[in-house]
Chains A and B, each alone.
Chain A
Amino acid sequence: MAARDLIRELRRAIGAAAVRDDPASTTVYARDASHQVSGRPACVALPATVDDLGRVVAVCARDGRPFVVRGGGTGLAGGALPSGGAVVIATSRLTRLGEVDAEWRHVRVEPGVFNAAVSRKAAAYGLCFAPDPSSQAAATIGGNIATNAGGPHCLKVGVTSQHVRRVEWFDPEGRRWASGRGCALDRGPDLRGLFCGSEGTLGVICNADLELCPLPESTATLLAEFPRLRDAAAAVIDLARARIEPQACEIIDQTMLEAVAEAFAFPLATDVEAVMICELAGAAGAVDDAAARAGHALRAAGARRVEVGRDTASRERLWQCRKQAFGAVGRLSPSYISQDVVVPLEALPELVGDIEAIRRDQRVTIATAWHAGDGNLHPGIHFDDRDPDAAARARQVADAISLRAIALGGSCTGEHGIGLEKRHLIGRQLDRTALRLMQGIKDLCDPAGICNPGKVLPPPGDGTAAQPVPVRVDFRWESLTVTAPADVPLAELQSEAMTRGYWIPVGAAYRGRVAAPGLGGDLTVGAMIDAGTTGPSLLGSLRPTDAILALWAESGDGEVFRAGTATLKDVAGYDLVRLLVGSGGMLAKPLAASLRLRPLPAAVGIWSWPDVPPFFPSACRREFMGVLRRHEHPALAVRSPHLDGSLLWVLAAGYGRGGDLDRLQADLETWSEDHGLARPHGGRDAFAAVGRASLLAGLPTWAVAAPDWTLLTRRETLPDWPRPRRLIWQAQPEMLWMPEAPAEEPVGWIADNVFRDGKLQWPPPPPPSVPYRLLAGLKRLFDPHLRLPCPGWLQAILAEAAR
Chain B
Amino acid sequence: MIGPTDTTRLDQLLRRCVHCGLCLPHCATYLASGDETLSPRGRLLLLGEVLAGRLPPDAPAVAQAFDRCLGCLACSAVCPSGISAELLACAREIGRRADRWRRFALANLLDRRPVLHIVRRVTAWARAVLARLGGVEWRARLAAAPRPVAGLARLVGAVPTSPHRDRDLVSLLDHLTGGVLADAAPRSTVRVAPAAPAAGLRLVWFRGCADAALLPGTAARLRELLAACGCALVDPPGQVCCGAIASHSGRPARKRRLRARNLAALRAPLAACDCLVVAAAGCGLELSDDSAAFGDKVRDAAVVLDQILPAALGSLSLRIAVHEPCHLRHGLGAAAALRRVLARIDGVEVLEAAEVDVCCGSAGVYALRHRELSRAMGRRKAAMLAATGCDLVVTTSPGCLGQIADGLAFVAPSLPIVPLSDLLWYAWFHGARVVPRKLLLDT
Contact = CB atoms under 8 A, between A and B. Distances in A.
A33 to B, nearest CB: 5
B94 to A, nearest CB: 12
Given A90-B34, A135-B20, A263-B82, A28 B45 contact: yes
B77 to A, nearest CB: 12
A95 B354 CA distance: 15
B80 A24 contact: no
Interface string B26-59: 0000100011110001100110010000010001
Interface stretch (A184-192, A327-335, A775-783, A784-792): A327-335
B263 to A, nearest CB: 36
A795 interface: no
A27 B34 CA distance: 16
Contacts of B55: 23-24, 27
B60 A22 contact: yes
Contacts of A72: 21, 24
A221 B81 CA distance: 26
A353 to B, nearest CB: 28
A48 B24 CA distance: 18
Contacts of A331: 16, 81
A114 B27 CA distance: 14
A31 B30 CA distance: 16
Nearest to B43: A28
A138 B23 CA distance: 8
B19 A31 contact: yes
A31 B44 CA distance: 12
Contacts of B34: 46, 48, 90, 92-93, 95, 112
Contact of B80 (A31, A90, A324, A336): A324
B99 to A, nearest CB: 16
Contacts of A48: 34
Interface in A298-330: 324-330
Contact of A92 (B36, B80, B83, B354): B36
A688 to B, nearest CB: 47
B18 interface: yes
Given A22-B61, A24-B46, A120-B354, A29 B36 contact: yes
Contact of B79 (A31, A93, A327): A327
A46 B32 CA distance: 13
A116 interface: yes
Contacts of B83: 330
Contacts of A537: none
A620 interface: no
A24 B25 contact: no
A536 interface: no
B163 to A, nearest CB: 34
A23 B20 contact: no
B21 A135 contact: yes
A28 B37 contact: yes
Contact of B45 (A27, A112, A135): A27
A114 B81 contact: no
B335 interface: no
Given A24-B37, A24-B62, A27-B49, A135 B81 contact: no
B102 interface: no
Contacts of A74: 20-21
B25 A263 contact: no
B309 interface: no
Contacts of A90: 34-36
B35 A92 contact: yes
A46 B82 CA distance: 30
A124 to B, nearest CB: 11
Counting contact residues on chain A (CB < 8 A from B), the size range is: 35 or more
A25 interface: yes
Contacts of B25: 114, 116, 137-138
Q: Which of B15, B20, B64, B83 has the most CB of A within 10 A?
A: B20
Contacts of A33: 18-21
Interface in A531-587: none
A27 B45 CA distance: 8
A138 B59 contact: no
Contacts of B80: 263-264, 324-328, 330
A239 to B, nearest CB: 29
Contacts of B220: none
A35 B35 CA distance: 21
B347 to A, nearest CB: 23
B65 interface: yes
A120 B352 CA distance: 12
A35 B60 CA distance: 27
B336 interface: no
B107 to A, nearest CB: 26
B22 interface: yes
A135 B80 CA distance: 12
B40 to A, nearest CB: 11
Contacts of A335: 15
Contacts of B79: 327
Given A112-B34, A263-B82, A31 B45 contact: yes
B36 A328 contact: no
Contact of A25 (B20, B61, B81): B61
Contacts of A34: 19
B332 interface: no
A111 interface: no
Interface string A133-144: 001011100000
B273 interface: no
A135 B41 CA distance: 14
B354 A135 contact: no
A90 B62 CA distance: 19
A32 interface: yes
A335 B16 CA distance: 8
A92 B45 CA distance: 18
B17 interface: yes
A73 interface: yes
B18 A329 contact: yes
Contacts of A29: 36
Contact of B22 (A25, A120, A138, A329): A138
A147 to B, nearest CB: 14
A25 B21 contact: no
Nearest to A88: B36
5 contacts: A20-B35, A25-B37, A27-B46, A27-B55, A73-B24
What 6 A-B pairs are tightest by C-beta distance, nearest first? A327-B80, A92-B34, A22-B61, A24-B61, A334-B15, A93-B34
Given A73-B41, A327-B18, 10 more contacts: A24-B37, A33-B21, A46-B34, A73-B24, A73-B36, A112-B34, A138-B22, A324-B22, A330-B15, A331-B16
